[in-house]
Amino acid sequence: MKFKKAGFRANLTIAVALSMIAVFSVGSFADEAAASHASDYSFPARGLPSQAPTGVLNSRGSVTINGNAAASGATVVSGNSIATGSDGYASIELGPLGHIELKSNTAITAVLSPSSVPLNLDLCGSVTQTLPPGVAGVLTDPHHDRAHVKVISGQVHVKYDGGKEQDLTTGHDKTFDNLEEVSTPGGTTFKVSCGEHHKAVYLVPLGLAGLAGLAVGIDHALEGNPAVSPSVP
């Protein structure tokens, strides 16, 4: 009888031990499976897509983005069309991608990427673009305007008038017929404008005409008013 009880207790002890081993084993496997499952859905930081570049608008007067009135502080994203009215002024701060400045009656569509900022000149008024080194730019004029290009710093390559090409460097400027595009590899500030560069030129002939008119007027005055001879009583 004692042997039966001893055997029963031994079997019971073995059964309890095996049960505990099984419980701990299942828990361990579950923890490993959970960790493996979690790792399947974890993405390393370097594998995440970088945030799309954006700009911040600073404006005065009439300025629109995609045809809607826009005020200072508005966010500019790739593909936006920015336009200024007759009393408008806009600047777009692009951080590491540089800076864009629009004067009145100007419209552009900007494409923002990590290494370039192409512009489409929708309305040629006056646009100045600053591009840091390594950030390329190309301004395209689909209307082939007669435009003035001025390089404030750096170098640009100009295409115009049906296939003609010319390079401009710091301090140089020129008016081009049928402007097609202005491109640069970066490290450049350049300005493209239509109309305003003619003002000083117009003032010169106007000034000369005014002087000529004044001279003619003096001649006529002298001819029409001869010296008065003393009267004879």
Task: Find the angle CA(198)-CA(87)-CA(63) to the nearest 5 degrees.
Answer: 115
Does the structure show a pLDDT above 80 at 25? no
Is this structure's pTM higher than 0.75? no
Instruction: Give the mean pLDDT of 145-168.
Output: 98
DSSP string, the chain: -HHHHHHHHHHHHHHHHHHHHHHHHHHHHHHHHHHHHHHHT---GGGSPPPPPEEEEEEESSEEETTEE--TT-EEETT-EEEE-TT-EEEEE-GGG-EEEE-SS-EEEE--BTTB--EEEEE-SEEEEEE-TT-BEEEE-TT---EEEEEEESEEEEEETTTEEEEEETT-EEEESSEEEEEE-SSEEEEEESSGGGHHHHHHHHHHHHHHHHHHHHHHHHHHSPPPPPPP-
Domain locations along the chain? 54-196
What is the CATH number that goes with domain 54-196? 2.60.120.1440
How many CA atoms lie less than 13 Å away from 193 in the CB half-sphere? 17
Give the residue among 136, 87, 142, 135 at the shortest CA–CA distance from 109.
142
Instruction: Give the mean pLDDT of 206-218.
Output: 47
What are the tens digits of pLDDT across the range 87-118?
Answer: 999 999 999 999 999 999 999 999 999 999 99
What are the tens digits of pLDDT across the range 159-178?
Answer: 999 999 999 999 999 999 99
Q: Which pLDDT band, with edges at 50, 70 and 90, does 195 fall under?
A: confident
